[in-house]
Structure 1
Amino acid sequence: MAAQPKYAPSNLDHVEDLEKYWRNGFHPVHLGDKLDKVDSKRYRYGVIHKLGYGGFSTVWLAHDLINGGYVALKIVCASQSSYGVPPAVESILDSHPTKIFVTELHRFLIQGPNGHHVCQVLPVTGPSLLALSRVPYRLRPAVCKKLAREGAQALEFLHARGLCHGDFTASNLVLAVSPTLHQLSKQDLLKLLGTPLRDTVHATGPKTASAPEYVIQPADLTRLGPSYLTDSLRVVDFDQVFGFRKPLPPGIPPNPGFRLGTPIASLAPEVIIEGAAGPASDIWALGCTLFRMRAGIQLLGEWHFNMASNVLEDIFDVILGPPPPKWTRLQFRENGWPIASPRSGKDKNITTHEYGQEPLDPDEDLKAKVYGIWDENRSRPNTPGKRLKSPSIFWKVDPNVVPHWGNVDGGFPHIHPDEAAQFLHLLRRIFVYNVTQRITAAEILKHPWLARVKR
């Protein structure tokens, strides 16, 4: 029997799981909280807004009360007391010449009602490429290619040193902010970001100190505008980093196999079916990310409901076509994950799927998706697709006039056929079943789609 919920659902759309405000869960945070005590009278950080959340942490915008400027505070669940990137990995990340990888500045511990929490102090960054590649925002094509090149360079750097990122998705690729952001007063920064939206937390039973008085919707970082956002990429979140060379150097995490934390819609088929994570699965995730960046939508259908079997069906029957013989007949558990060893006989908890029996639908395959990308209208300034008051990095449309997939309603043009042909060629080098034939990050950087991108 499922446990009774401890809190009533929030009225805000984008907030963390309230049920994690409990023993060993999230730390309750309020605006104005002061953290990291320096001495009997001073604290180092003052919380001024919320930046985001995940399954194991909440992230807050804080004012550095000692040195000035701003930082991000990632406060981790108490159950993750050993949380953090191993020093051997962090040393590699910090050695990148342009500091593209966002690593912690330092850390401290918080003792709260739900336990001891690691708090990572991180540089402030701008919005993620996920936020900039869904309605109402789209990355400008030229900027998309520049960021794509920097993303491929980041993977090339990691792979050359025996590391895989493990979760190279649009949510973990962000824009760098301008240094001038740190010159803003707290009042001016909050004026840019807008008043934080709050919602009171209501307990379903006796009220405790485990939860905050209210939850806050994360700030919309696109509001920082052209003065405080750059078109340079930063890579975040190294929880899934692992090494693939043998023997593993000291301090490098091993291959997680089936436990790889990449979202299912960006998992390579060899990881879903065989747990075979590696550089090639990073490249597959990059391919999904490139499509998301350029098209403004997810490559695989939104219908899969977080089921691995449905993702495979999209890959085999819609995107790429028949899989290799070893994958044409797969057995799945009730949770949609394939079983490693096929079972004979009847088992009501096991279902068998056969793939590749039908030809690809030319209206839905990879080519159709690429050539169906709708684009910014730069020639008709009065159309709904015009650039609004947004930084030149991205453009914005009225969500009420976004065209249906594959048509040009509302004055939106399609991607230019020449670019579509190049982009499709690149994706077809990425989305292949044989990992030995999948393009590498170094080869992506030489591909014609990126050939003329400013380095």
Structure 2
Amino acid sequence: MMLPSILDRFTLNGLNGNHACYVTAPVSASLSDLKDGSWIRLFQPDVARSLAAQLMLALDYVHAQGIVHGDMYLGNILLKVPLNFDQLSPERLHEKYGAPELEPVSRLNGKPLPPGVPTHGVPPIWLGKASEEIVLLETRILLADFGEAFILFILSKERKFESCTPLVIRPPEARFEPNEPLSFSSDIWTLTCTIWTIIGQRQLLEGFLATEDDMTCEHVCQDTLSILPLDWWEKWDALRQKFDGDGEPRNRKSFRSWDDRFEDSVQQPRQDSGISPFNEKEEALFNVLRLMLSFRPANRPTTNQILKSEWMVKLALPEYRKSQNNI
């Protein structure tokens, strides 16, 4: 199962009211944490393929239930703990991962703590490792955080128009079609960006402290997506500031082709780190990723169609099955 299950639930009664609590199985870290724990921020090729396949299978199941996730990025993709984790004694757990550390709690003004406030806090334990150290056997994921998810029935009884996905991977229709409800295709856009980040060192679309205009320019200024649909161009107030009358970017330095991004984010970092680069067979991945990044939501493939794509069938899914057979 690639979705979290609730093992127990209880209500915590405290000074600030009653809080519903849910218990789930522990995880080692998110994929974002694993990259943050690495200097090179890369997964091994077989690991990256297995992670992408599992993410695709998880999202396909979610969509089949009529649910749009709405907030899919590396921080919400969790890696399960090792298979023998539940058999570790407390002593062995502390030996392997470190004993709990107590951090005193104090007030800035030096006055005594109010009633009900604990005297110490316990920082969370780090169960992960550097991304490049993850091996195929350990690639067991959970797609988590359904706080932004919404359900689509046949007649769209429940609709959602605002995307809370991080701006850098937010689908463009959230901006240019604000009166149209988001649907499964919005997940496909963020899935594309997430798969790229799994196989590469950096994100496909980059925008540190970016605005909506910056990200729209990032969408257009690469050979992958080309120009916006005409009606979207006409809605873009900042168009004349970013492009000339012929549709060419005023700042040519902002133009980075798909090949440039692949070389800078995937191939060169892998070669520099002594990790096998992706070979010519990976071209099949880019063929389907380009379709998944169609501006028009209706033109993006479904999860089922993506699972039948050449890259999934010949490369990604076999790696996932190999990891399951080893288990």
Q: TM-score, normalised by structure 2?
A: 0.79
Of 353, 375, 394, 2:238 maps to 353
C-alpha separation between the residues in 2 aligned to 1:215 and 1:274?
Answer: 46
C-alpha separation between the residues in 2 aligned to 1:411 and 1:270?
Answer: 37
Deviation at 1:312, TM superposition (A): 2.3
Map 1:35-434 onto structure 2 (within 5 A).
Answer: 99-134=1-36, 135-136=38-39, 137-196=41-100, 199-205=103-109, 207-208=113-114, 213=119, 216-223=122-129, 230-247=138-155, 254-258=158-162, 260-275=163-178, 276-305=181-210, 307-318=211-222, 320-330=225-235, 352-354=237-239, 357-358=247-248, 364-374=256-266, 406=268, 410=272, 412=274, 415-434=277-296
Deviation at 1:131, TM superposition (A): 2.3
Task: Identify unmatched segments of 5+ residues in structure 2.
Answer: 322-327
The answer as to whether partners of 1:268 and 1:284 remain within 8 angstroms in 2 is: yes
Structure 2 CA distance for partners of 1:193 and 1:256, relative to 1, 3 Å: farther
Q: Which has the higher helix share?
A: 2
Structure 2 CA distance for partners of 1:288 and 1:280, relative to 1, 3 Å: same
Map of 1:449 onto structure 2 = 311
C-alpha separation between the residues in 2 aligned to 1:199 and 1:321?
Answer: 53
The answer as to whether partners of 2:202 and 2:265 remain within 8 angstroms in 1 is: no
The answer as to whether partners of 1:113 and 1:209 remain within 8 angstroms in 2 is: no
**Alignment-mate amino acid for residue 167 of structure 1:** D
- Identity percentage of aligned residues: 23
**Alignment-mate amino acid for residue 140 of structure 1:** Q
Task: Identify unmatched segments of 5+ residues in structure 1.
Answer: 1-98, 332-351, 376-405
Structure 2 CA distance for partners of 1:296 and 1:410, relative to 1, 3 Å: closer
SS in 2 for 1:237: coil
SS in 1 for 2:4: coil
Alignment: residue pair count: 300
SS in 2 for 1:321: coil
The answer as to whether partners of 2:43 and 2:134 remain within 8 angstroms in 1 is: no
Structure 2 CA distance for partners of 1:159 and 1:409, relative to 1, 3 Å: closer
RMSD over aligned Cα atoms: 3.1
Structure 2 CA distance for partners of 1:363 and 1:353, relative to 1, 3 Å: closer
The answer as to whether partners of 1:374 and 1:412 remain within 8 angstroms in 2 is: no
C-alpha separation between the residues in 2 aligned to 1:177 and 1:129?
Answer: 13
C-alpha separation between the residues in 2 aligned to 1:143 and 1:369?
Answer: 21
Residue deviations 1:184-240 (CA, integer Å, cap 9, x gap): 11222132222456655554456545765455543322259989x732222211112
Q: TM-score, normalised by structure 1?
A: 0.58
> Which one has more relative contact order, counting CA pairs under 8 Å at least 6 apart?
2
The answer as to whether partners of 2:45 and 2:276 remain within 8 angstroms in 1 is: no
**Alignment-mate amino acid for residue 101 of structure 1:** L
